[in-house]
Structures are given as structure tokens and as C-alpha cells.
A = this chain, B = another copy of it.
Amino acid sequence: MSALLSLRNVWVEYGEKVVLEKVNLEVSEGAFLSIIGPSGAGKSSLLRLILGQEAPTRGQVLLGGEPLEPQCGPDRGVVFQRYSVFPHMSVLGNVMFGLECPAAPIAARLFGSARRKAMGEAAAMLHAVGLGDSLNLYPAQMSGGMQQRLAIAQALIKRPRILLLDEPFGALDPGIRADMHGLITQLWRDYGLTIVMVTHDIKEAFTLGTRVLALDKRRHDPHAPHRYGATAVYDLPLRTAPAVVPPAPPQPDPNPLSAAAS
């Protein structure tokens, strides 16, 4: 099976500072890749590369065998580290936007029954992330975790071929986090998505992923800490793609408080 996404000897540098060096990576279709690594290692930078938001200083990023265009398309979905939603759209509007764009190229809005259908779909997704009661709020009226869930709903509704998640569950409590795990896994399985997820929760990385990649510096020059960048120090394949062996959905703990307090 040829790789959906390949990074060939990729370097990312900001001025003098080397962030990523010699990163080689092949991600096959349907994989769920967890990326872990210390803060500042370059995990978000790696996602920005795949997104086409930034170009590598050296090396190549290939998508489906083709060099990546320096722009992002609807084949990729993203949840940024800092929950970035559109501040001027209501919760429902934020999620509907992804449905309206492809359906209404000129008006960029849906009307009538098409609109009602999109609203229903968006509301269902929002219910799934637990925001069913907040459809008409603006992002500024929501808590951090609610904004993060909104960003997740916004990305999931498109069922993108490649989904890039940057610490998507960081601001969520264990209960809701478990719900989210279930949701993501189900969509991943049902639609054969390819997912690249950055997380700091090692358990999460191993439960959800079919493969775990650890980014860290191999070398460190104490007098010039910016001289060496991070690269893949571990790359652990856990399972094969879901089409072959679907992973078991994680079992959310029904009462995380009592479990931890005991």
C-alpha cells in the first residue's frame, strides 16, 4: 500500500533556529497517527507543514504521491491547538459553514430545505460533542472547553480525508473527553479517515492511535540550543488500519470523579 502522506528529509527552520531536522515519515491511508513529544519540539510545526500553511525549509512533503501545493484544501481538516473558531458566527453557524461552502459556491449560504437539512446535520454533530444546548451562543460566550468542542465539531462535520488534530482534547474534563474519543474513533472507522493527532496524554496516544510517533531532539548543544532540531525518536506501529482490524472503541469511565477520588 503506497503512502497517502510522505515527508522526505524535511527541515523546518526559523531564522537561525532549527526546529525539525531530517524528518522522514510515511503515513498510509486510514492510519491514526499519534504524535507526542516535549513542549516546543515542533509538533505543531509538523502539522502546519502537512496543512500546507508553511513550506519546509528543506525537503519535500508529498500528498498522494504529489508534492503538496502550498495551500490547504477541503481534503484536510484541522483542530488547532488554540481553539480557533470564527468569532462572528454562532455555534451553529460555525459548524454549518463547512456544509454551506461546497453546496453554495456563489451565495456561500444555503436557503430553504437545503438549509434546514444542513442545520439538522450540524445540530446533530453539536449534540454529539455536548453543545446541543448552546447552538445560538457566540464563541466569546463559551468556556474554553466548549470552544474546543466547537472546533472539533466544525472539523468533523466535513469528514475530511486527512484530519489534523493539535491537542484537541486538552481543555476537556475526563467524561467529555471519553465521549470525544468514542466519537472520533467511530468517524475514523466509518469513513476510513486518516488522522494525525498531537497529544500530551500518553494514554490517549496509545489507546486511540494505530501508530505513535515521538518527536524529540537527538542531539543537544548546551551552548547553542537552537542548533539542533527535533526529529522522530520513536515510531511505534501498534495496529494496522481500521479496515483490517477495527480498534475497540475506548470505554468512557461513567464517573471519573469517584474513580479518581477512591
Contact = CB atoms under 8 A, between A and B. Distances in A.
A262 to B, nearest CB: 10
A234 B133 CA distance: 25
Given A170-B171, A173-B38, A200-B172, A260 B205 contact: yes
Contacts of A43: 143
Dominant SS among interface residues on chain A:
mixed
A243 interface: no
A167 B145 CA distance: 11
Given A82-B82, A170-B170, A39 B202 contact: no
B234 A149 contact: no
Nearest to A149: B39
Contacts of A133: 225-226
Oligomeric state, in copies: 2
A144 B200 CA distance: 12
Interface size class of A (residues with CB under 8 A): 35 or more
Interface string A193-208: 0000000101101100
A40 interface: yes
Contacts of A167: 144, 171
A36 B261 CA distance: 11
Nearest to A177: B200
Contact of A38 (B40, B176, B226): B176
Contact of A143 (B44, B134, B203, B257): B44
A175 interface: yes
A261 to B, nearest CB: 6
| List of 6 A-B pairs having minimum Cβ-Cβ separation, nearest first | A39-B145, A202-B260, A133-B225, A81-B144, A40-B143, A173-B200
